[in-house]
């Protein structure tokens, strides 16, 4: 489902003397439907960078990232938009929303964008918010004023609203209590069971061992190691 | 009137599935004497897409928008719009047709609501006027449509007979949006739509615009210098400097991994809140 081949990435900082920072060389990754691959490596090794490249958020210098038959490294922006809408989900560490939009709408939005009937989308959003223990009195409020843990759970609810065939998870269990952590891990297991291909970063070792089928050390793709 | 309502709900969804761009811009150039307003700008906009154009003051973004919307005549290039009856170059079409387009399929939201509203006409009149310009004649239906649109942009019905001069800046901007969208346009040009508004009012307007774009399947081109606004509203982004497009791409990609020296400067200069 996700095929990463010979990926190279470098950042050029034009306003800091044009310094070029190579961050990745020859990265490979292959994730089958129903499989969860955990990215490991020291802080700064490029785990998030790889995740962002797969999502089309960072450009790549060379290589290919094929998701469901589409090469993210080559296609036009509007194809990536369609891919993100239908196929590729991403749970980032930070919630980014239009201020003033109620939490229930934030969570239902991926489904509404897909043209799902509003009642169906809201029912799904309601179920996810309940599972993730967001109190009902908060659903009509914007999540911008919520605590860090609450914002993260809203973010996870939104990321799991649509059954994406491919999912990218950046530290989905960080800063969650035991009960919520278990809920998130269950959501990941359910996604795997329905055939989603998942790439994740999990600093929490126990969580990683529970959901990941394999580990890939991103440190192996560091430039200069080849 | 009925036709207008149908165009909003029905035709657009069909249109969005078609495989051709709504707007094709080719080599658009505008000079002011020896100076460049904008030069050799080319892009495509697809149905349902929102494109942001960012750059500092004087970068040519407003000149470009005026050329696209037919308010300024470009020196070279084409702006090909997919009309209901096939693609047409709006640069070379007769003035009367272009003006008709400006009243029907196109809408223009000005930064200053005073430029887009008739300040001496009531709020309801401002919304109804655009309907009358496309042939609506029945007073009852026009007033109903005006009230419906005032509700959609969250202006109380009891303000329908007040003049915009009695409204706050944020209300005036929302009224301008209602006036523009009442005829069910397919393409909306916006020049700094949240500029000059308080942040709390800006948030409200952003929420409103995003909802309208999604529900009506609108395409929009938004000129702004506010990177936070484009991140939340635009699918794609063009960065302009000295009249040239220096970088373009997916909005979050351009903002998070900018490639051009100017975009890097622009992104790194934003103050963190």
Q: What is the pLDDT of residues B46-89, one digit of tens each?
A: 988 999 999 988 899 999 999 999 999 999 999 999 988 889 99
Instruction: Say if residue A116 is in the same domain as residue A48.
Output: no
Mutate to test the interface with A, among B193, B257, B272 (most CBs of A within 10 A): B257
Judged by CB atoms closer than 8 Å, whether chains meet at A14 and B207 is answered as: no
Instruction: Say if residue A186 is in the same domain as residue A76.
Output: yes
Q: What is the CATH number of the domain that holds A43?
A: 3.40.50.300
Name beta bridge partners: A30: A3
Q: How far is B174 from chain A (nearest CA, A)?
A: 16
Residue A226 predicted with pLDDT over 70: no
Judged by CB atoms closer than 8 Å, whether chains meet at A15 and B210 is answered as: no
Q: Which domain-ending residue is among A163, A184, A213?
A: A163
Residue A103 predicted with pLDDT over 50: yes
Judged by CB atoms closer than 8 Å, whether chains meet at B207 and A96 is answered as: no
Instruction: Say if residue A148 is in the same domain as residue A170.
Output: no
> In chain A, which residues have their Cβ closer than 8 Å to the Cβ of B203?
98-100
**Which whole number is the average pLDDT over B113-139?**
92
Q: What is the pLDDT of residue B6?
A: 38
B233 → chain A, closest CA residue: A98
Expressed as residue numbers, the domain containing A224 is 1-87+164-226
> Residues A103, A154: contact at Cβ < 8 Å?
yes
Instruction: Say if residue A156 is in the same domain as residue A196.
Output: no
Q: What is the pLDDT of residue B15?
A: 42
> Residues A87, A164: contact at Cβ < 8 Å?
yes
Structure tokens at B206: 């952003």
Strand ranges, E, within chain A: 2-13, 19-31, 36-40, 62-67, 70-71, 88-91, 166-170, 197-201, 214-217
pLDDT digits 0-9 by tens, B233-251: 899 999 999 999 999 999 9
Judged by CB atoms closer than 8 Å, whether chains meet at B252 and A112 is answered as: no
A111 → chain B, closest CA residue: B214
B138/B203: higher pLDDT: B138
> In chain A, which residues have their Cβ closer than 8 Å to the Cβ of B17?
none
Enclosing H/E stretch for A49: helix A47-55
* Pairing of β B23-32 and β A214-217: unpaired
B267 → chain A, closest CA residue: A15
Nearest to B169 by CA among B109, B113, B108, B110: B113
Tracing tokens 């070379």 back to the chain, one arrives at B92
Instruction: Say if residue A59 is in the same domain as residue A106.
Output: no
B16/A151: higher pLDDT: A151
Q: Which domain-ending residue is among A113, A134, A163?
A: A163
Nearest to B181 by CA among B158, B148, B159: B148
Q: How far is B236 from chain A (nearest CA, A)?
A: 7
Instruction: Say if residue A185 is in the same domain as residue A79.
Output: yes
Residue B10 predicted with pLDDT over 50: no
> Residues B252, A96: contact at Cβ < 8 Å?
no
Instruction: Say if residue A123 is in the same domain as residue A60.
Output: no
Nearest CB among B207, B260, B268 relative to A101 is that of: B207
Averaged pLDDT of chain B:
88
Share of chain B above pLDDT 90, in %: 64
Residue B271 predicted with pLDDT over 80: no
Q: How far is A178 from chain B (nearest CA, A)?
A: 32
* Pairing of β A166-170 and β B23-32: unpaired
Instruction: Say if residue A145 is in the same domain as residue A219.
Output: no
Nearest CB among A52, A57, A112 relative to B214 is that of: A112
Number of separate helices (H) and strands (E) present in chain B:
12, 10
> In chain A, which residues have their Cβ closer than 8 Å to the Cβ of B253?
56-59, 77
Residue A183 predicted with pLDDT over 60: yes
Please give the tally of structural domains in chain A. Answer: 2
Nearest CB among B204, B252, B265 relative to A100 is that of: B204
Nearest to B87 by CA among B96, B95, B78: B78
Q: How far is B125 from chain A (nearest CA, A)?
A: 30
In total, the C-beta contacts within 8 angstroms joining chain A to chain B are 57
> In chain A, which residues have their Cβ closer than 8 Å to the Cβ of B213?
none
Q: Report how far residue B192's alpha carbon sits from residue B110's, in angstroms, rounded to the nearest whole number.
A: 7
Q: Report how far residue A52's alpha carbon sits from residue A73's, in angstroms, rounded to the nearest whole number.
A: 12
Q: How far is B270 from chain A (nearest CA, A)?
A: 15
User: B110-141 burial string, b = 16+ CB within 10 Å, else e?
Assistant: bbebeebbeeeebbbbbbbbbbeeeebeeeeb
Instruction: Say if residue A80 is in the same domain as residue A1.
Output: yes
pLDDT digits 0-9 by tens, B150-191: 988 889 999 999 999 999 988 999 999 999 989 889 999 999
Assign 3-state DSSP to chain B and report helix, strand, coil percentages, each to 5.
45, 25, 30
Q: What is the pLDDT of residue B134?
A: 85
User: A77-99 burial string, b = 16+ CB within 10 Å, else e?
Assistant: bbebbebbeebbbbbbbebebbb
Cα torsion B232, B237, B241, B245 to 10°: value is -170
**Cβ atoms within 10 Å, residue B43:** 18
3-state secondary structure at position A197: strand
pTM score of the predicted model: 0.89
Judged by CB atoms closer than 8 Å, whether chains meet at B253 and A58 is answered as: yes
Instruction: Say if residue A106 is in the same domain as residue A145.
Output: yes
Instruction: Say if residue A189 is in the same domain as residue A169.
Output: yes
- Tell me the pLDDT band of B228, cut-offs 50, 70 and 90: confident
> In chain B, which residues have their Cβ closer than 8 Å to the Cβ of A56?
250, 253
Share of chain A above pLDDT 90, in %: 87
Q: Report how far residue A219's alpha carbon sits from residue B231's, in angstroms, rounded to the nearest whole number.
A: 32
Nearest CB among A59, A78, A96 relative to B49 is that of: A78
What residues in chain B have their Cβ under 8 A from chain A's Cβ atoms? 46, 49, 203-204, 206-207, 210, 214, 231-232, 235-236, 249-250, 252-253, 256-257, 259-261, 264-265, 268
Q: Which domain-ending residue is among A122, A144, A163?
A: A163
Share of chain B above pLDDT 70, in %: 92
Judged by CB atoms closer than 8 Å, whether chains meet at B253 and A15 is answered as: no
B204 → chain A, closest CA residue: A100
pLDDT digits 0-9 by tens, A54-99: 999 999 999 999 998 999 999 999 999 999 999 999 999 888 888 8
Indicate if the alpha-carbon torsion angle A185, A190, A192, A196 is positive or negative: negative
> In chain A, which residues have their Cβ closer than 8 Å to the Cβ of B250?
56-57, 77, 80-81
Using CA atoms, how far residue B75 sits from A155, B119, B124, in Å, is: 48, 33, 39
- Tell me the pLDDT band of B101, cut-offs 50, 70 and 90: very high
Instruction: Say if residue A152 is in the same domain as residue A184.
Output: no
Q: How far is B139 from chain A (nearest CA, A)?
A: 33
- Tell me the pLDDT band of B199, cut-offs 50, 70 and 90: confident
Radius of gyration over alpha carbons of chain B, in Å? 18
């Amino acid at each position: 489902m996700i095929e990463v081949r010979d990926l190279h990435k470098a950042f050029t900082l034009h306003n800091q003397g044009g310094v070029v920072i190579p961050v990745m060389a020859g990265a490979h990754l292959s994730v089958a439907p129903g499989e969860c691959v955990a990215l490991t490596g020291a802080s700064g090794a490029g785990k998030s960078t790889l995740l962002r490249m797969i999502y089309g958020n960072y450009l790549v210098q060379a290589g290919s990232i094929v998701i469901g038959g589409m090469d993210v490294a080559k296609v036009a922006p509007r194809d990536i938009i369609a891919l993100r809408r239908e196929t590729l989900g991403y749970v980032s560490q930070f919630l980014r929303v239009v201020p003033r939009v109620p939490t229930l709408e934030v969570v239902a939005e991926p489904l509404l964008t897909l043209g799902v009937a509003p009642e169906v989308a809201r029912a799904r959003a309601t179920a996810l918010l309940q599972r993730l223990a967001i109190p009902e009195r908060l659903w009509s409020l914007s999540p911008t004023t919520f605590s860090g843990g609450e914002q993260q759970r809203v973010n996870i609810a939104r990321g799991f609203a649509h059954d994406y065939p491919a999912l990218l998870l950046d530290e989905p269990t960080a800063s969650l209590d035991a009960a919520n952590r278990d809920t998130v891990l269950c959501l990941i297991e359910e996604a795997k069971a329905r055939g989603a291909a998942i790439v994740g970063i999990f600093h929490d070792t126990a969580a990683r061992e529970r959901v990941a089928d394999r580990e890939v050390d991103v440190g192996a793709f560091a430039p200069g190691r080849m | 009137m009925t036709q207008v309502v149908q165009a909003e709900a029905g035709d657009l969804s069909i249109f969005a599935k078609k495989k051709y761009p709504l707007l094709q811009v080719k080599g658009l150039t505008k000079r002011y004497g020896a100076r460049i307003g904008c030069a050799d700008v080319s892009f495509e906009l697809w149905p349902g897409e929102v494109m942001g154009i960012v750059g500092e003051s004087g970068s040519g973004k407003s000149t470009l928008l005026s050329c696209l919307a037919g308010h300024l005549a470009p020196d070279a290039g084409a702006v090909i719009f997919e009309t209901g009856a096939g693609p047409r170059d709006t640069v070379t079409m007769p003035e009367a047709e272009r003006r008709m387009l400006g009243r029907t399929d196109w809408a223009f939201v000005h930064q200053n609501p005073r430029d887009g509203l008739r300040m001496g006409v009531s709020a309801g009149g401002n919304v109804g006027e655009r309907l009358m310009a496309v042939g609506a004649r029945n007073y009852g239906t026009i007033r109903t449509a005006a009230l419906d649109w005032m509700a959609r942009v969250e202006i109380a019905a009891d303000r329908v007979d007040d003049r915009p001069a009695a409204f706050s800046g944020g209300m005036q901007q929302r009224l301008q949006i209602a006036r523009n969208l009442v005829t069910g346009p397919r393409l909306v040009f916006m020049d700094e739509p949240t500029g000059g508004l308080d942040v709390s009012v800006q948030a409200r307007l952003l929420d409103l615009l995003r909802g309208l774009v999604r529900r009506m399947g609108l395409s929009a081109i938004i000129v702004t210098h506010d990177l936070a606004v484009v991140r939340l509203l635009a699918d794609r982004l063009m960065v302009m400097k000295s009249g040239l497009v220096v970088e373009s791409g997916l909005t979050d990609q351009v903002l998070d991994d900018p490639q051009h020296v100017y975009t890097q400067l622009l992104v790194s200069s934003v103050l963190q809140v």
